[in-house]
Amino acid sequence: MKKIGILLSGRGSNFEAIARNVQAGKIPAEIAIVISNKEGAGGLAIAREMGIKALCIPSKGKEREAFEQELVAALREAQVDLVCLAGFMRVLTSYFIREFQGRILNIHPALLPSFAGVDAQKQALEYGAKFSGCTVHFVDEGVDTGAVVCQAAVPIQDEDTVETLAARILKEEHRIYTEAINLVLGDRIRVEGRRVILKK
């Protein structure tokens, strides 16, 4: 059974959606560990309630690499095959990325390369885009720059606020993260340059 490690910093709804799909047998893997860099993260409480191993490794006041060494040690101990960032509000250094080369996914609430970085839904709304959406991508050294695994588009309506748009996007996030995890863990894709291609 493949093992997933989740990194998060907040609410944890993407983690919860993944965990529910694992429970429902829609992802043939187990979540071996959930790690938050913030003690108060809602995601940690959800994990504990669901009986999933959850721990806090605070990032505050630590050198980036010292923090990441702790993360790597915990993920290695849990023997994870895939690291899923789910609202993890830290940029990872090349040290961490090398340790899990090609095995780190992130979800971003916009159609990359549009609206990278923070407040992506607000950026899309203020830009006046007519569609936005979400992207699951491999993580590289940049901010939201890695090869795209899955995307879903949603319309932006005239009445939208950041909240209503974020909610419409979030629904799709919960769907495509599972899809992307299954593609990666099932060895069903190959990466050619920036392109993630389905194996025939």
- In angstroms, the CA 130 to CA 195 distance is 25
Q: Considering the rule CB under 6 A, would residue 87 count as an interface residue with ligand GRF?
A: yes
The H or E element that residue 18 is part of is: helix 13-23
Q: Are 86 and 4 in contact (CB under 8 A)?
A: no
Among the listed residues 8, 13, 196, the one whose alpha carbon sits nearest the alpha carbon of residue 112: 196
Task: Tell which one of 54, 173, 176, 196 touches ligand GRF (CB under 6 A).
Answer: 173
The residues carrying an active-site annotation are: 108
Q: Which is nearer to ligand GRF, 69 or 122 (CB)?
A: 122
| Residue span binding ligand GRF (CB under 6 A) among the ranges 22-30, 72-80, 101-109, 185-193 | 101-109
Structure tokens at 84: 């899923």
Q: Does 5 bind ligand GRF (CB under 6 A)?
A: no
Which one, of 179, 167, 104, lies nearest residue 132 by Cα?
167
Instruction: Establish if 107 lies at the interface with ligand GRF (CB under 6 A).
Output: yes
Quick check: 10 binds ligand GRF (CB under 6 A)? Answer: yes
Q: Does 146 bind ligand GRF (CB under 6 A)?
A: no
What are φ and ψ of residue 179, in 5° steps? -60, -45
Count of CA atoms in the C-beta half-sphere (13 A) of 185: 24
Handedness of CA 34, 31, 47, 180 (dihedral sign): positive
State the alpha helices, DSSP H only, in 144-186: 162-185
- Candidates 3, 11, 53, 103; binder of ligand GRF (CB under 6 A) is 11
With respect to ligand GRF, which residue has the nearer C-beta, 43 or 67?
Answer: 43
Binding-site string for ligand GRF from residue 25 to residue 64, where x marks contact by CB under 6 A and - marks none? ------------------x---------------------
Please choose, out of 9-17, 27-35, 48-56, 146-154, the segment that lies near ligand GRF by the rule CB under 6 A: 9-17
What residues make contact with ligand GRF under the rule CB under 6 A?
8, 10-14, 43, 86-87, 107-109, 170, 173
